[in-house]
Amino acid sequence: MTDLKAELVSRSLALGFDVCRVARCAAPPHAGEFGLWLAEGNAGEMTWLERTSERRVDPQKVLPGARSVVVLATNYWQGEAGNSSGAGGKIARYALGDDYHELIEGRLRALDGWLAENGGTQKCYVDTGPVLERDFAALAGAGWHGKSTVLISEELGTWFFLSEILTTLELPADEPARDRCGSCTRCIAACPTGAIDAPHHLDARRCISYLTIELKGSIPVELRPLIGDRIFGCDDCLTACPWNRFARASRETAFAAREAARMPLVELLGLTDEEFRRLFRKSPVKRLKRRGLLRNVCVALGNTGTPEDVPALERAARDPEPMIKEHAQWALGRIAERQTTALRSAICFPAQ
């Protein structure tokens, strides 16, 4: 099994994975905390977490006879030049390029086939399965639990995708990584909405990634100003982590930013359904659908827009989709408030 594991690591690196480590397949260490987190309502509308909770805390219900969890990490960091910028809204770095699910799933299938040839039965997941993946990743030593709840790696910082293979093969387990956060709380301080309300505890209902991606309805009015110009996810707690100074550029060009990720907000606001599907085909953004993206664009324009953006928002306020209409009307109100404030300031403090 030691030789088999060595060959597994070699094959995974050749396929394009950056880390391959193994944990023993047992109950995840934070199963109790996960249940309490759900009971407190922190998952918001992510009801699928509740539906699959029993399987998430017992991997034997996912794959009977599983003995090992192979943890794989894929670096997506494109360097500082990989940010979305200019007139476009902010998109989380992981979503600037192609959809990672399709790329990583193909690599997992290759490893699955090879493990099957060696007598194993497997289940493979790219954050789509009922597995508490960060627990197993920490057990395998792929990283440690950061105070923001993301996994942190000495090699990759915070910029990587996790995937895992549950297998009936009993592979030698790796040692867990040591928690190296120390007294640092930069990620907590960086959260724009206070969603990280304590070390290692996230209220998803306030998280900008949840609000702009997972939440399907209207964004709470009191949280909209805190979203700024973010239109898909948020990287603030990741960016704040000092371990990112060790991050290196990814070998994978598929994660490089698409041109669509840099489109001005007003151009995004004018997209038809067909144009949206064409622009974001094979992109993580496609899961939002047009209504979700334009909802977020309206909020971003409400926070950063100028009178020049008013005509586009007025058109959006007549959109057949009620959610787009509502958020466009809110954005128009915000721009009008800023204009009024600027006018009052000019009257009270005229230029000398």
Q: Between β-strands 230-232 and 90-91, what pairing exists: parallel, antiparallel or unpaired?
A: parallel
- Does CATH number 3.40.109 belong to domain 2-84+96-167? yes
What's the pTM value of the predicted model, to 2 decimals? 0.94
pLDDT of residue 112: 98
pLDDT of residue 94: 96
pLDDT of residue 343: 75
φ and ψ at residue 298, rounded to 5 degrees: -60, -45
pLDDT in tens, 141-157: 999 999 999 999 999 99
Residue ranges covered by each domain of the chain: 2-84+96-167, 186-237+259-342
pLDDT of residue 2: 86
Using DSSP's 3-state secondary structure scheme, residue 119 falls into coil
174: left (phi over 0), alpha (psi -120 to 50) or beta: beta
pLDDT of residue 124: 98
Using DSSP's 3-state secondary structure scheme, residue 136 falls into helix
Which residues of the chain are under the pLDDT cut of 50?
A: none
pLDDT of residue 80: 76
DSSP 242-255: GGGGG----S-GGG
* Residue 196 CB coordination number (10 Å): 25
Helices 2-15 and 100-117 pack at an angle, to 10 degrees, of: 150
pLDDT of residue 19: 98
Q: Which residues are catalytic, by number? A: 127
- Per the CB < 8 A criterion, the answer to whether 304 and 231 are in contact is no
pLDDT of residue 350: 63
pLDDT in tens, 83-130: 555 568 999 999 999 999 999 999 999 999 999 999 999 999 999 899
